[in-house]
A and B are shown apart, each in its own frame.
Chain A
Amino acid sequence: MKQALVTLAMAAGALVVMTASAVAQQASFPAPAWSRTTAAAQNRGSLTERGAAVFNNWCTVCHGKDVKNAPGTQSLQYKYQGKLPAALEERRDLTAKSVKFYVRKGVATMPFFRKTEIGDADLDALAAYLSQGKP
């Protein structure tokens, strides 16, 4: 949780939050200056740092290292039985291609993610982060 919050703060504010006065006056709501799907691409830092931000925003709640708060990690633990690390961030065999495949195709109860959730630029960063540069 802490890690997720810190990363969200790094990502220049995940959401645009407005003041009460704008609502009270019923003024036109200004156009959002930020869109989640381009957050990582706009964020400073290396591709893998941006990928870490995407992971924390979208993936940690299922695939974090804390098994009791990560049902995806728990499921992979059952699947691999110690043959591979259950936490995706501890894997050394992931390729960018396989990360992109699972995000866009889903697997078991994990649904696929739309481009309005994880955009192509964010997915490139995420894939770079989890694959550590392997194509």
Chain B
Amino acid sequence: MPQPPKGMSDRDFQAALRRIREVAGSEWVFSSDEDVELYRDAYSPLWGEEEERVASAAVAPISVEEIQAIVRIANEYRLPLYPISTGKNLTYGGSAPVYSGSVVLDLRRMNRILDVSLRDRSCLVEPGVSYFDLYRHLRQEKIPLWIDTADPGWGGLIGNSLDHGAGYTASDFRDHFDAHCGMEIVLASGEVVRTGMGANPNAKTWQVFKYGMGPWVDGIFSQSNYGIVTKMGFWLMEEPEAALMVNVTAPRRQDIVPLLDILTSLIYSHTILSELQVMSPIMNGSPDPELVRLRVAGAGATDQEWARYVESRNQPCWAASFCFYGAPKVIAASWEHTKDRLAVISGVQFRETASYTFPLTDEQVDAVADKPRLGIPSLNLFGSRNSPTARPSEGHLDFSPMVAPRGEELLALTSVTGKVYADMGLPPPFVGGWIYHRRGMIVFHPVSTYRNAEDNQKTRALFERLVTACAEGGWNTYRIHANFQALAIQTYGFNNGSLHRLHETLKDAIDPNGILSAGRYDIWPKHLREKRA
């Protein structure tokens, strides 16, 4: 049987579960081994090891009132709860708690789309609404609004935005927390709070204006453990008349500097609205010995050496892809202007990869290759095998340090991570930058996880080295798997960790019994902090 939380007697644990069953119904309280196993992290880097973070039970309430009642019981018994929304935050911890023995509060059943406003271009949803759910609803009802989906799209709007996730459409919508407007939260005390304009019981502007009056507190409920978010509003993108997907290549390694400088200028002046990716077909090619030598040499390899190598491969060193949205005339003018600006890079080449006019038929939706840029959720990224002979993937962790979108930064960072990989006897990592958030660029490093301890030990060692080496270079991760949150928070250690101390001060004030998501982003309640010290 799953073990009760550390320090809690089995008698109290069973008594608390009995009380919770009275609230949520026996059918929705899971406490058998078989059922609790479903709350493991499928991609855990500690899979099957003693330290794997596992739940003691789970409960799936259907309403705010049930959550309030459960929270009050948890306070009475000091029972740790771990809320999840759709539970698909895989690569960051999935549906498993950070603190073993927590009872997972599974909000997947709360899956109502409470409102979609065509005139305000907004929606109000519950935590169990997935990207697929909202997308299918908008298609079914023929509502000309787009969602901005994470990729893969099996997660949900609330969970993804609270973990600072991002997507692929226009800049007003890609940073999912930035694109939210209004929240409802059940506090640890059981009290319900609505933020922004939602604090006026007669408000007509909850999803129109974020701030309301007084301190804007929404931010403290992201990447934290101060409350249970039960409703959230989001701004949606108006379906454009058309879209054009394009690709720009530049031949030389040093071209990345002007390429990103010009592209970011076009982003900041709102000529390019979509997410933009830049990657290196050369550096991501099959790792022949000369490429490995150059990659490992980092700054030690000269432009001339790189030029010789690039020339021998007969491929451009860089390829950027992005998308234009709007009226066809506006798209044509934006693309022409983009080409004019980039023409200063000798050898630059331009290609239109796909164009669309909206709305799309179902058959056209199926045919879209790059779905997320049109707000279409898919799981196309998540195959286990990409060839008949490759070892099937069993999962991965996401190591994505945030950098300024500058060519020098991309080269410097991948030189540092390349050395970490080389020191561990691994081939060089992927070189590519994704501009999801308004100003930052993430450099994605997928790190494989396995269902065996030996391989996972190597994974953890690699991951820890990446976190530390990049933080020393000034590049912190913006989001991280639960197993590495304590390490990552240490890299935000200005003034002897004053920010972390503030997080814990807030925790003590808002959740004095420490019942919510203990340990999330290394915020521990007082009683567990003292034991850890």
Cross-chain contact A110 with B384 (CB below 8 angstroms): yes
With A75-B385, A116-B106: A5-B203 Cβ-Cβ less than 8 Å: no
Cross-chain contact A15 with B366 (CB below 8 angstroms): no
With A18-B112, A24-B204: A108-B384 Cβ-Cβ less than 8 Å: yes
Cross-chain contact A117 with B108 (CB below 8 angstroms): yes
Chain A, residue nearest B133 (CB): A15
Q: Which of B115, B133, B387, B393 contacts A109 (CB 8 A)?
A: B393
* B324 interface residue (CB < 8 Å to A): no
Closest CB in chain B relative to A57 CB, distance in Å: 9
* B121 interface residue (CB < 8 Å to A): no
Interface class of chain B by DSSP: loop
Binds B, one of A31-39, A47-55, A89-97, A124-132: A31-39
Cross-chain contact A23 with B114 (CB below 8 angstroms): yes
Cross-chain contact B388 with A8 (CB below 8 angstroms): no
Inter-chain CA distance A35–B28, complex, in Å, is 12
Chain B, residue nearest A81 (CB): B388
- Interface residues in A79-106 (C-beta closer than 8 Å to B): 79, 81, 104, 106
* B62 interface residue (CB < 8 Å to A): yes
Inter-chain CA distance A74–B369, complex, in Å, is 15
B64 contacts which chain A residues (CB < 8 A)? 29
Q: Which of A19, A24, A36, A71 contacts B109 (CB 8 A)?
A: A36
Inter-chain CA distance A25–B202, complex, in Å, is 6
A116 contacts which chain B residues (CB < 8 A)? 28, 60, 87, 106, 108-109, 128
Cross-chain contact A23 with B111 (CB below 8 angstroms): no
A22 contacts which chain B residues (CB < 8 A)? 114-115
Cross-chain contact A66 with B366 (CB below 8 angstroms): yes
* B35 interface residue (CB < 8 Å to A): yes
Inter-chain CA distance A78–B87, complex, in Å, is 29
With A17-B113, A17-B116: A114-B380 Cβ-Cβ less than 8 Å: no
Cross-chain contact A36 with B111 (CB below 8 angstroms): yes
- Interface residues in B26-57 (C-beta closer than 8 Å to A): 28, 30, 34-35, 37-40, 42-43
Contact with A along B1-44 (1 / 0, CB 8 A): 00000000000000000000000000010100011011110110
Cross-chain contact B112 with A32 (CB below 8 angstroms): yes
Binds A, one of B67-75, B135-143, B258-266, B423-431: B135-143
B362 contacts which chain A residues (CB < 8 A)? 1-2, 5
Inter-chain CA distance A69–B183, complex, in Å, is 34
Chain A, residue nearest B39 (CB): A114
Cross-chain contact A78 with B385 (CB below 8 angstroms): yes
Inter-chain CA distance A82–B62, complex, in Å, is 45
Inter-chain CA distance A57–B377, complex, in Å, is 13
Cross-chain contact A71 with B380 (CB below 8 angstroms): yes
Contact with A along B449-483 (1 / 0, CB 8 A): 00000000000000000000000000000000000
Q: Which of A1, A29, A78, A104 contacts B112 (CB 8 A)?
A: A29
Chain A, residue nearest B199 (CB): A26
Chain B residues engaging chain A, CB cutoff 8 angstroms: 28, 30, 34-35, 37-40, 42-43, 58, 60, 62-64, 87-88, 90, 94-95, 106, 108-117, 124, 128-129, 132-133, 136-137, 139-141, 153-154, 198, 201-204, 206, 362-363, 365-366, 369, 377-388, 390, 392-395
A to B CB contacts below 8 Å, 10 in the list: A15-B133, A18-B112, A26-B198, A29-B114, A32-B62, A71-B382, A78-B385, A78-B388, A79-B392, A108-B392
Chain A residues engaging chain B, CB cutoff 8 angstroms: 1-2, 4-5, 8-9, 14-20, 22-26, 29, 31-32, 35-37, 61-62, 66, 68-69, 71-72, 74-75, 78-79, 81, 104, 106-117
Cβ-closest 3 pairs across A and B? A71-B383, A108-B384, A111-B42
